[in-house]
Structure 1
Amino acid sequence: MNTTAMLWTGRILSGLFVLFMLGASVTPKLAGMPVAEETMAQLGWPAGYAMMIGIIELFCVILYVYPRTSVLGAVLTMGLLGGAMATQVRAESPLFSHVLFSLYLGLFMWGGLWLRDPRLRAIFPFASARSKTGT
């Protein structure tokens, strides 16, 4: 895949990740929608935490979007997603649809960043079996 195609694919994946985070996670919490508090209560969180988690999520997304802080944003978002995964495990939610959803989202986020950031590709290169054996 050429560099331009990788860059645009990464931008599209990152854009989809950001849109999902803003639409499905950040906005309901920051807007004070009842569904956010109800969902948090079902997962065992005390009332009033939805707004603070929404602010943290928004901060992480902003860091992820800005190129100079995108890796920091991805690391912090992954920590947030790990906490979401732990909450789903504690609530005994279904494995593939709920518990691992944070992992799926994290892989999507990191994939977009890896494709659009050559510095990240230099740190985590994918090498074919042919290049490893020297043939």
Structure 2
Amino acid sequence: MTDAVPKGQSIAGRVLSGLVILFLLFDAGLKLVSPETAIKYSPPDLGWPLDVPTMTMLGTLLLIPTLLYIWPRTAILGAILITAYLGGAVATHVRIGSPLFSHILFGVYLGVMLWGGLWLRDSRLRAMIPFRAGASA
């Protein structure tokens, strides 16, 4: 059904995906288990209400797609939903004028790692998004 993924490529993809998954689970878990801590360390000028219901909602909206990303059958759907979540984070930081490389682009860095890890470990995604040297239009 799908082509075999070279072992080294699969390991690299799993490591990259694992790092993203750990970060996202930590972020979602903190918002769900200890929303007061998430509120305490959130910048006050983000424009979001810094209260328990908002943190719980954001934690849930991150946890569900992260769990979908972990399961191979739904990994692409999870990646799409996480990308949307990260887009909201980028837009929030652009709106308030956060520093570019450390805050605004952090969501982009995570997104590149998220999709890069999935691309390395999933031959179906590589078939849909091929990177070829010397390809002509």
Structure 2 length-normalised TM: 0.88
Residue 126 in structure 1 maps to residue 128 in structure 2: no
- CA RMSD, 1 decimal: 1.5
CA contact (8 A) 1:32 1:51 kept: no
Instruction: Decide which moves more: 61-70 or 33-42.
Output: 33-42
Gaps of 5+ in 2: none
Give the length in aligned residue pairs.
129
Of all paired residues, the percent bearing the same amino acid is: 47
2:59 pairs with 1:54: yes
Cα distance in 2 for partners of 1:54, 1:121 equals 30
Runs of at least 4 residues off by over 4 Å? none
Q: Which residue of 1 aligns with 2:80?
A: 75
| Aligned ranges 1:1-135 → 2 under 5 Å | 3-23=6-26, 25-38=27-40, 39=42, 41-46=44-49, 47=51, 48-129=53-134, 132=135
Of Structure 1 and Structure 2, which has the larger fraction of its residues in helix?
A: 1
One-letter amino acid matched to 2:32? L
Structure 1 gaps of 5+ residues are none
Of stretches 25-34 and 37-46 in structure 1, the one that deviates more from structure 2 is 37-46
With normalisation by structure 1, the TM-score equals 0.89
The answer (yes or no) to whether the contact 1:64–1:70 under 8 Å persists in 2 is yes
